[in-house]
Amino acid sequence: MIIVLAETANEADIRHVVDRIEESGRSAHLSRGVERTIIGVIGPDDPAMQDMFETLPGVESVHRVTKPYRLVSREFRPSGTVVECGHGVSIGGSELAVMAGPCSIEDERHIVETAIAVRAAGANILRGGAFKPRTSPYAFRGHGERALEFLANAGRESGMPVITEVMSVRDIDAVARSADIIQIGARNMQNFILLDEVGKTHKPVMLKRALSGTIEEWLLAAEYVVAQGNPNVILCERGIRTFETAYRNTFDINAIPLAKSLSHLPVIADPSHGTGKWKLVRPVAMASIAAGADGLMIEVHPNPDHALSDGAQSLTFESFERMMESVSAIAAAVERRVPLHASASAG
């Protein structure tokens, strides 16, 4: 931490700052310039300390010089993390992860049919919502535990690992039993208790970025999970909230290469939420892979105009297939590949 004193700071102010640094078990390094004095703090950075120093008389500004996360930083594991998800699928290697399926699991036939179709088109992970966060208390909130069963069956039948969201500590056990990957939704990125608890499982955790979450906050949320002993974290960029109302969210393409340079964790792109408009899903999926994403999460529905949620951003089977062809061409251009199945219906 570096503390810059105001031009008006006097010796007593400087002494006070140094005392507080030493009280905290750190040491102070003074540098007296012509116009102002600067104090380097030798010892670990702590955001709360920054706050505190800013209140001291004579202090003009406080600058942190180290990153607040450690275990998830690229320096900690320069080679990059590959997360094993079961059924021979891993995330972070040269084969892209393609998660596809409906926003909500509506019934068993619906999810099995979708699983088979998306796998045939090249998906390797099945997504489906059982517990749905909904802005309105009057909207459909998912079929809960019953839907978890349907999802697990569809995963087995199609031979794919499955991912679904957990919204509450009380549902972690049930979700961990049925799912291969646990999703933490954007609205729960800073539900710190939930992060702690999924950190105590050994399941892969996909952590979506919050609507107004900074890259630093996102990585600190991942640090919560890893700090509890679970290193299998996957980041997911799903669009942020900006002034622009032409789309539901603004997909932050910068976040992909930046997150990958700051952290060793794999990064997935969700252009369905990142745009909110199915017509934009294909080009933004292509862009994400071009920018270095390790995979995609895509909402697919047999019949989007009958979907119980998020119809406007869901692809049909046909448009998903078209998207996969385009993504495949981009993947080749960046020396990666989309998943290849020996036989689309094999378990």
The DSSP code for 186 is G
111/308 Cα distance (integer angstroms): 13
SS3 114: helix
**Binding to a second copy by residue 241, rule CB under 8 A?**
yes
Question: What residues does 42 pair with on adjacent strands?
Answer: 27
State the nearest-atom distance from the C-beta of 150 to a second copy, in Å.
Answer: 20
Q: Does 18 bind a second copy (CB under 8 A)?
A: no
135 is an interface residue for a second copy by CB under 8 A: yes
Helix (H, G, I), strand (E, B) or coil at 324: helix
Binding positions for a second copy, 24-83, rule CB under 8 A: 29, 31, 33-36, 38, 40, 42, 46-48, 51-52, 54-56, 60-61, 63, 65-66, 68-69, 75
The residues in 189-218 that bind a second copy, with binding defined as CB under 8 A, are: 190-195, 211-212, 214-217
3-class SS of residue 182: strand
Which residue from 87, 92, 178 is spatially nearest to 125, judged by alpha carbons? 87
340 binds a second copy (CB under 8 A): no
Q: Write down how long the chain is.
A: 347
DSSP code per residue over 7-39: TT--HHHHHHHHHHHHHTT-EEEEEE-SS-EEE
145, 157, 250, 319: which one contacts a second copy (CB under 8 A)?
250
Tokens of 69: 């996360």
Residue span binding a second copy (CB under 8 A) among the ranges 81-89, 110-118, 151-159, 166-174: 166-174
231 counts as binding a second copy under rule CB under 8 A: no
Which member of 162, 220, 323, 338 binds a second copy (CB under 8 A)? 220
Which residue in the set 22, 88, 94, 139 belongs to the binding site for a second copy (CB under 8 A)?
Answer: 139
Q: How far is CA 37 from CA 40, 49, 53, 98, 276, in A?
A: 10, 19, 15, 54, 51
CB of 248 to a second copy, least distance (A): 10
User: If 0-12 CB within 10 Å is exposed, 13-18 middle and 19+ buried, where does residue 24 land?
Assistant: middle
Which range touches a second copy (CB under 8 A), out of 93-101, 113-121, 325-333, 336-344? 325-333
Select 11 or 305, whichever has its Cβ closest to a second copy. 305
Q: Is 146 in the site for a second copy (CB under 8 A)?
A: no
Q: Which of 77, 290, 341, 344 binds a second copy (CB under 8 A)?
A: 290
Positive or negative, the CA dihedral 323, 329, 335, 340 is: positive
227 sits near a second copy (criterion: CB under 8 A): yes
Based on the shown chain and the rule CB under 8 A, indicate whether residue 187 belongs to the binding site for a second copy.
Answer: yes
Q: Which residue has the tokens 């003074």?
A: 30
